[in-house]
Amino acid sequence: MPGYDEISRCNRCGFCQSVCPTYLHSRDETQVARGRIYLTRLLLEGKYDFTLDAEVSGKVDDCLLCGACTVNCPSSVKTDEIMVSARRDFAANRGLTLFQKLVYRGLLSHSERLERASLLMRIYERTGARNVLYGKILGRALDRLAYYDSFLPRGMSRPARAQLEPVMAPSGSPRLRVGYFLGCASNVFWSQTALTAISYLIHRGVEVHLPPTGCCGEPHRTCGDEAEVRRLAGLNSTLIFRDGFDLIATDCSTCAQALAHYDEFVGADSREAERIRPLLGKVVDLNTLVVEHLGLDADNLRPISHSAATYHDSCHAVRGLGVSEAPRRILGAIPGLELREMDGADSCCGGAGSYGFTHPSMSGRIAAAKAENIAKTGASLVATSCPACALQLGAGLRRAGQAQAVAHPVELLARSAAISMFRQTPEMAQGQDPEMEP
C-alpha cells in the first residue's frame, strides 16, 4: 500500500479537478485524484477491505495514470504512483484479473505469441472478414465488437522484427551506434513506423542494433504485477543496457519512460540496478535522438502530401520524459507543413495502455473529445510519439468518421527526406500507405 506520508500531502484543494480527464468526463468526485487518494487513505486505515470491495478497487483501476493531476497539484502529490502502489496490493491479495492474465502475462510477456496472434489479425483484415461480419451478418447488433475492431490498424504488415536484421549498418563508418528497443505495439501494430524510423536512422549514418528484447514491462507495472515487471526488466536490461551503444532509442515514449526507470524495475537495491544505473542516461526517445543528436538536415527535406498537421502529446512523452519541443521542431522543419496546435494537446487520449479495452465507456468519451479537438484544427494529419496513443487516436477518429491520418513525427520526417526504405512491405512496394490511414 502507498505510504501514508504521500497520501496525507493531499490538502483536498481540488485543483486536480480541472485537469483530470476521468473527472471532466464524469463529474464524479471518486473519479479525480482527490477522491481516489481519499479512498486509498480509507483502505490504508482499514476502513475498507480492499480484497472484497470491488467498487473501491474499481475506482483505483479507473485512473488513467496520466499524471496530469500531479503537474497541477500545489503539493505535487504523485497520484499515479499511489494508484500503482494500491494496484500492487490488490494484485498481491486478489491475484490478477482474467484480462491481465490473458493479455499481459499470456501475450505481452511472450513476444512470439503476440507476433503469432498478429497473423490472425492480418488474415481478418485481408480476407474482408470485417465487412462480412459487420455488413452482412451482424449489422449494428454488436456495437461492442465494432468498438474493439476500431482499434485494429488498417493494412497491418508483418511484425517489424521479422523484416529487420539484428544489426543494420549504414554505408561508411557510423556516426552513432544505437540500441533500438522495439516495443510490442511498435513491432506488431505500428511496424510501418519502426521500419521507416530505422531506415531513416541508417540513412543518417546510424548503426542500428536490434536486440531480441521483449515487452518493456510497463503494462505489468500498471496492474501491480511486480514479479513479472522484475522478470521482464531483468531479461531486457541484459540485452539493451550494454556498453558499446552510444544511445538506447525507441519510437515508443512509454517504452522510453519505462527503460529510463529500469533501475527501479529490476529492484532498486539489486546488483543489476547498480550495473545499469550509469547507463540510464543513454535512453532517448526517437524525436530527441533526431533533433539533439543527428540534427534535422533541413536542406534535404521536401513537402509531403499533407499541408497541416497537429500533434498529440502522449502522457509518457510530455510528463514522463519532458519531451514536447523535439517532435514539434521535426514537424516544423517539414517544408509546406503547418503545425496547428489542438486544444488539450497534452491531455490523455484515453488509451493508457489497455484502458480502451478495459474501460470502453470512459475511454470512448475521452477519444471522441480528442477527435473533436483534432477536427477543429482542420489538419489532415495527427502526429504522436506513442503507438498506444496512435491506436487510440486511430480508433477514435474511425468511430467519429474522420479521415485524419496518424503518424510518428520521425516517420513524416523520413518521408520528407524521401529516403529509400531498408525493407519494403508488399503494401509499400505497391505505393500504398497502409498505417497512415485511420
Binding site for ligand SF4 (CB under 6 A): 10-16, 19-22, 32-34, 36-37, 63-69, 73, 75, 77, 79-80
Which is closer to ligand SF4, CB of 2 or CB of 67? Answer: 67
Which is closer to ligand SF4, CB of 34 or CB of 423? Answer: 34
Which is closer to ligand SF4, CB of 78 or CB of 306? Answer: 78
Q: Are 356 and 149 in contact (CB under 8 A)?
A: no
What is the smallest separation between the CB atom of 226 and ligand SF4, expressed in angstroms?
Answer: 20
Q: Give the helix ranges, DSSP H, for 105-178.
A: 111-126, 129-131, 143-149
What is the smallest separation between the CB atom of 61 and ligand SF4, expressed in angstroms?
Answer: 11
Rounded to an integer, what distance in angstroms lies between the CA atom of residue 323 and that of residue 136? 46
What is the smallest separation between the CB atom of 373 and ligand SF4, expressed in angstroms?
Answer: 17
Q: Which residue's C-alpha cell is 510528463? A: 319
Which is closer to ligand SF4, CB of 100 or CB of 363? Answer: 363
Which is closer to ligand SF4, CB of 11 or CB of 300? Answer: 11
What is the smallest separation between the CB atom of 316 and ligand SF4, expressed in angstroms?
Answer: 12
What is the smallest separation between the CB atom of 78 and ligand SF4, expressed in angstroms?
Answer: 9
Rounded to an integer, what distance in angstroms lies between the CA atom of residue 394 and that of residue 141? 23
Rounded to an integer, what distance in angstroms lies between the CA atom of residue 73 and that of residue 76? 5
Q: Amino acid identity, residue 192? A: Q
Query: Could you tell me the CA-to-CA distances from 107 to 103, 225, 268 in Å, in that order?
Result: 5, 14, 27
What is the smallest separation between the CB atom of 203 and ligand SF4, expressed in angstroms?
Answer: 38
Which is closer to ligand SF4, CB of 12 or CB of 144? Answer: 12
Distance of CA 46 to the CA centre of its chain: 35
Q: Which residue's C-alpha cell is 456495437? A: 143
Query: Could you tell me the CA-to-CA distances from 290 to 101, 118, 250, 299, 413 in Å, in that order?
Result: 37, 30, 11, 15, 10
What is the smallest separation between the CB atom of 9 and ligand SF4, expressed in angstroms?
Answer: 7
Q: Are 331 and 412 in contact (CB under 8 A)?
A: yes
Which is closer to ligand SF4, CB of 10 or CB of 386? Answer: 10
Rounded to an integer, what distance in angstroms lies between the CA atom of residue 331 and that of residue 111? 32
